[in-house]
Amino acid sequence: MLYLSLLLILFVATFIRSAFGFGEALIAVPLLALVMPVEVAVPVAVLASITVSVVAVAQDWRHIQLGSATRLLVATLFGVPLGLWLLKAAPESVVKILLGTVIILFSSYLLIQRGGLRLRSDKSAPVFGFLAGVFGGAYGMNGPPLVAFGTLRGWSPQQFRATLQGYFLPASLVVMAGYGATGLWTWEVSRYYGVALPVLIVAIVAGRVANQYFNARVFSLCVHVGLILVGLGLLWQGYRVY
């Protein structure tokens, strides 16, 4: 049952990540933590994330908005310390409720507004990258600010997916190196990852096929609905802890 649960959870999470470029963190880690220790679940999820990113970058590197990804990544490094401080200084319930509320309000606004709000350049990328660092440091969720930026820049589904993977790959490699240095990358983690690898490959291929059939309007709708669901999940977790 443990391995069956592992494979099912990672397949669903990886398919979503491969199709949309984000969203697996809130699925994989909480569900894996139900069947294994958190200190094992998190590195396994990060290894799965790295696998998606490596395949996506290798296949879609031409679609990566390199300037945007670089600006976002550099700014993220400055936001992480604030997120870590927030994690230590504020109650977990407050952090989750705050993040969930911001995500829901922002995505709901973009869904209902009719003005076609767009960013015409990468000048504001450091702001979104910094917020991604804060979100990542506070709860390990870099995705929402990055998704918001990509949507406002009007990236195509292919550019969206590729650029987010171009961002997540170096970020996840740094995190995994930290796990190795602190002893969290264990043989048990590697064994679970090895067992799940064939399922990850199938999920990546299926997600990639699904991504190619999205048109821009449907993709944008799915992204914002997905973000709202992420926000609702955070609110639920926050109020439950509270």
130-140 tens-digit pLDDT: 988 887 766 66
Kindly tell me if the per-residue pLDDT of 191 is higher than 90: yes
For residue 126, name the pLDDT band (cuts at 50, 70, 90): very high
Residue 7 has pLDDT above 60, yes or no: yes
More confident residue, 33 or 121: 121
Contact 163, 69 (CB under 8 A): yes
Contact between 29 and 158 (Cβ < 8 Å): no
Higher pLDDT, 199 or 43: 199
- What percent of the chain lies above the pLDDT cut of 70? 88
> How does residue 145 score in pLDDT terms, banded at 50, 70 and 90?
confident
Q: How confident is the model at residue 94 (pLDDT cuts 50, 70, 90)?
A: confident
CA gap 2, 34 in Å, rounded: 10
**HSE-CB of 186 using CA atoms within 13 angstroms:** 11
pLDDT at 174: 77
Could you give the dihedral angle defined by the CA atoms of residues 207, 113, 127 and 102, in that order, rounded to the nearest 10 degrees? -80
- Which CA distances in Å does 90 have to 85, 164, 185, 214, 227? 8, 29, 28, 39, 23
- Which residue did the predictor score with more confidence, 92 or 114? 92
CB 126, CB 75: distance < 8 Å: yes
Closest CA to 10 of 162, 174, 189: 189
pLDDT at 114 over 60: no
Q: How sure is the predictor about 107, in pLDDT bands with cuts at 50, 70 and 90? A: confident
Q: What is the pLDDT of residue 92?
A: 66
Average pLDDT over residues 25-43: 77
| Domain residue limits, the chain | 2-241
Mean local confidence (pLDDT), 138-150: 76
What does the pLDDT average to over 78-86? 79
User: Three-state SS for 91?
Assistant: coil
Query: What digits encode the pLDDT tens for the residues 207-242?
Result: 888 877 776 677 767 777 877 887 787 788 777 755
Structure tokens at 73: 């990544």
Residue 115 pLDDT greater than 70, yes or no: no
For range 180-184, the mean pLDDT = 79
pLDDT surpasses 90 at 10: yes
For residue 86, the model assigns a pLDDT of 73
What pLDDT score was predicted for residue 241? Answer: 59
